[in-house]
Structures are given as structure tokens and as C-alpha cells.
Structure 1
Amino acid sequence: MSSNSASALLKMQKNVKQLRFEAGIRRITVSQAATELQAFCLQNANKDPLLTGVPSSDNPFRPPKSCALF
């Protein structure tokens, strides 16, 4: 057996192993995934800073306050 054919055989075996792995993955329908995603988003909406905003005291990107010396 030449090294070229041995290499090709190893690649094919690796592909078969990957395909068997992927065939065994549990799958769900798109509608079920969408429903679960929507429920998750609604459940966690109150914790999302993009929806609720960030308090100015916790915001590390707020503009710096000017300092005045008297």
C-alpha cells in the first residue's frame, strides 16, 4: 500500500467517523427551537442591559466629570 492510498484511507475513515457522530446528534424542529429561544429571551429581558439600560454609576464608558479646584 502506498503512502498516498494509506493517507486517503485515513481521511475517509475520519470522514465516516465524523458522519456517524453527526448522525447521532439529537435534533429538534426549527419551530420548537424558535419557541424555546423566544421564551428564553422573554424570561431574561429584565436582565438585558441593551433593553433596560445601564445605570450611570455602573457605566465604565460614561464621560469623565471635569475636576474644578477652588
Structure 2
Amino acid sequence: MDPRRNPSTHPQVCPALLRTISGSSSIATMKKVIQQLQLEARLHWVKVSQVATDLKQFCLQNAQHDPLLTGVSSSKNPFRPHQVCHFL
């Protein structure tokens, strides 16, 4: 076998990846893994602390529009108790 085509001799191949690949499905599996790794490589990573700060700031800026914090007027509340009809 050509050593360039043997993934076990390639220094950049992850050993855990090699264990997941077996038999005739190895090429298809490798393509899926490569596709996933390429997708993950394009992701923009942000620290959790930065995201938490941004989320807190967003919540504080929009608190006045949050019906859970400000309440809903009874005229706009679709879940208010309905009036009983007195004509019956």
C-alpha cells in the first residue's frame, strides 16, 4: 500500500478518528468527518463571558418591552376571564 494513502502513517490524522473508520465505509466516513471539521473551522468562536455580558446588556435594554416584567393590560390579554352573558 502506498504510504501516502495510508492514514495510519500520516502524522496529522487523529488516532480516535482512525478507530472510528473501518471497512468499505471508510472513505464515506472520512468525507463526512472532513466536511464537519471544515464547517467547525469556519465558525466564529466567542468567549462565554463575552456572550453573557452581551445577553445581560440586551435584557436590560429591552426590559421595558417585556410583558413578563411589565405586565399585560387586561384589554389586550386574550387569556382574561370572559364575562358571563346575562341574557340567558
The TM-score normalised by the length of structure 2 is: 0.67
Unpaired runs of 5+ residues, structure 2, are: 1-22
Structure 1 residue 37: deviation in Å? 0.2
Q: What percentage of aligned pairs have identical amino acids?
A: 54
Q: Supply the RMSD in Å over aligned alpha carbons.
A: 1.6
Q: Does 1:41 align with 2:59?
A: yes
Larger Rg: 2
Deviant stretches of 4+, over 3 Å: none
The TM-score normalised by the length of structure 1 is: 0.82
Distance 1:48 1:12 in 2: 48
Q: Does 1:28 align with 2:46?
A: yes
Unpaired runs of 5+ residues, structure 1, are: none
